[in-house]
């Protein structure tokens, strides 16, 4: 395949790799409340399969309450922490046990073209295990409030809305515009970054881009009750919550600091610019790779974060290249080439199972059957802790991200790929259309692509602050596979779900 053909094919497929996971849309105000958790036997190891046929009732039934914004409590009054995983799952730490499950959803006859059915008051069969990774079992949970437990919701794809700066397929006259005209309009509309003409896009490729871009659509948020005011929401996002870790395998506890103890970038010792590719002349970031036509950006971003952090922790003595393919083939926490979340790969999968090296399971850009031994012979790289930056989904911000980046290494993020981004070549990207920002109610912000933040800086000419980000579309795209994006304003939701993990060295 030629470079030009690869560009068009890849960007057409990857615009939704982070969101095309399970077709559900559950917010924190729908997940919070009291739950009954039915557990099956807990004396298994991590090879247990948890699905609709699993035993989820023979051990016991317990009660837990998920409290706003991230506290879980037991019937006995013990407390722990929980987080949403985007709008599709939750993970809770309580009484020495970790619980993880996706919300319950069902395919409908027109699924994939029109809609899906989901239940925010019920889970699919999920996994639980002790903090130390022992005593695995399966569980299902359901809201104790019968009305909440049995609410059925439908999510439909909205019609594609033309933007002020349209993509070629959005031409005002209904004709497919040329890529050259599209690039010209982008470059004429602003002077912060430059778009380039990789090639004139084929009409069918443009159709594919728009299809993937709206594969699950932007949910209608008007029916969701707001739990806080906008002022409360943005004030909460400006906090920097330090982690308190109780032992190697403990849950993460969060302490909200006093106003006087909050870290301010203006008062901090962090440099004005920083890049893990050049720390006193040393590069700690692994090479840019190409995910090809598979929606595996989340696995590449996760692998890239762990690769960089292993290099940092070992002072570059260890430089493994990790395998996204093993994640596609074997991880129970992702949907293969249909999408996933870096939190569940660099975090949960890496802690529960570990990532193997590329040489053991080479990337082929397709979902393959996981072998019975699950690549038992492969060396596995694991993490001891993981979390969303800020402690839970929706609580990240610029300050917390800079602190995490400088002190611990590159971190994964999600953001929304708009049509103009695919033509990016150089500069500080910001979306060139003036359409309003997507939903931010109850922390939720639409993202559809996962990447790796490796640094930050300030444009010397314009003064614009930016993040430096590693993509997974190959070194021929952008600035040798990297891009800069506006920092501090949550551009394209880039600051909405940063993830971190602590690697374990041999």
**Vertex 253, ends 249 and 254: CA angle to 5°?**
150
Alpha helices in 397-499 (DSSP H): 398-408
Beta-carbon contacts of residue 57 (< 8 Å; ≥ 6 apart)? 38, 39, 40
Sign of the C-alpha dihedral, residues 413, 418, 424, 428?
A: negative
Cβ burial, residue 370 (10 Å; 0-12/13-18/19+) = middle
H/E segment holding residue 235: helix 230-237
Torsion of the alpha carbons at 361, 363, 364 and 365, rounded to the nearest 10: 130
3-state class (DSSP) for residue 28? helix
SS3 content of the chain, % helix, strand, coil (to 5): 25, 25, 50
**Distance between CA atoms of 295 and 157, rounded to whole angstroms?**
19
What one-character-per-residue DSSP string does 64-109 give?
Answer: EEEETTTEEEETTS-EEEEEEETTTEEEEEETTEEEEEEEEEE--T
Contact at 8 Å (CB) between 176 and 168? yes
**Catalytic (active-site) positions:** 297, 449, 471
Contacting residues for 44 by C-beta, under 8 A, at least 6 apart: 135, 136, 137
Residues in contact with 255: Cβ distance below 8 Å, sequence separation at least 6, in sequence order: 241, 242, 244
Residue linked to tokens 């090809």 = 292
**Beta-strand pair 482-486/424-429:** parallel
């Amino acid at each position: 395949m030629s470079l030009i053909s690869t560009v068009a094919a890849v960007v057409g497929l990857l615009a939704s790799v982070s969101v095309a996971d399970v077709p559900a849309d559950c917010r924190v105000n729908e997940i919070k409340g009291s739950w009954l958790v039915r557990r099956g036997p807990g004396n298994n190891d991590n090879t247990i399969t948890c699905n609709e046929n699993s035993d989820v009732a023979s051990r016991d039934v317990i009660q837990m309450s998920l409290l706003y914004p991230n506290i879980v409590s037991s019937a006995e009054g013990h407390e722990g922490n929980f987080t949403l995983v985007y709008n599709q799952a939750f993970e809770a730490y309580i009484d020495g046990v970790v619980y993880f499950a996706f919300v319950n959803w069902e395919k409908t006859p027109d699924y994939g073209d029109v809609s899906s059915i989901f239940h925010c008051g019920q889970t699919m069969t999920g996994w639980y295990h002790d903090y130390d990774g022992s005593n695995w079992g399966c569980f299902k949970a359901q809201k104790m409030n019968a009305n909440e437990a049995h609410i059925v919701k439908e999510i439909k794809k909205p019609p594609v809305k033309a933007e002020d700066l349209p993509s070629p397929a959005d031409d005002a006259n209904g004709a497919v515009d040329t890529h050259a005209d599209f690039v010209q309009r982008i470059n004429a509309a602003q002077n912060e970054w430059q778009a380039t003409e990789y090639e004139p896009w084929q009409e069918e490729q443009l159709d594919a881009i728009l299809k993937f871009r709206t594969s699950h659509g932007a949910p209608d948020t008007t029916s969701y009750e707001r739990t806080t005011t906008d002022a409360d929401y943005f004030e909460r996002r400006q906090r920097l919550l330090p982690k308190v870790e109780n032992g190697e395998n403990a849950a993460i506890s969060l302490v909200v600091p006093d106003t006087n103890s909050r870290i301010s970038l203006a008062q901090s010792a962090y440099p004005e610019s920083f890049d893990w590719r050049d720390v006193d002349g040393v590069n700690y970031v692994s090479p840019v790779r190409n995910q090809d036509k598979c929606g595996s950006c989340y696995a590449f971003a996760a692998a890239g974060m762990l690769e960089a952090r292993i290099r940092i922790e070992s002072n570059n003595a260890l430089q493994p290249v990790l395998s996204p393919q093993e994640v596609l083939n074997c991880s129970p926490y992702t949907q293969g080439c249909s999408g996933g979340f870096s939190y569940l790969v660099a975090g949960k999968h890496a802690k529960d199972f570990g990532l193997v090296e590329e040489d053991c399971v080479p990337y082929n850009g397709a979902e393959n059957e996981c072998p019975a031994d699950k690549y038992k012979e492969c060396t596995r790289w694991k993490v001891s802790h993981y979390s969303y930056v800020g402690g839970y989904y929706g609580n990240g911000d610029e300050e917390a991200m800079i602190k995490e980046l400088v002190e611990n290494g590159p971190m994964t993020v999600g953001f929304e790929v708009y049509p103009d981004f695919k033509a990016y070549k150089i500069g500080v990207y910001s979306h060139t259309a003036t359409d309003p920002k997507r939903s931010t109610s109850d922390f939720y912000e639409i993202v559809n692509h996962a990447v790796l933040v490796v640094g930050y800086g300030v444009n010397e000419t314009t003064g614009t602050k930016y993040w430096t980000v590693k993509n997974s579309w190959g070194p021929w795209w952008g600035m040798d596979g990297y891009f800069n994006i506006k920092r501090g304003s949550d551009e394209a939701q880039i600051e909405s779900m940063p993830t971190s993990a602590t690697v374990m060295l041999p």
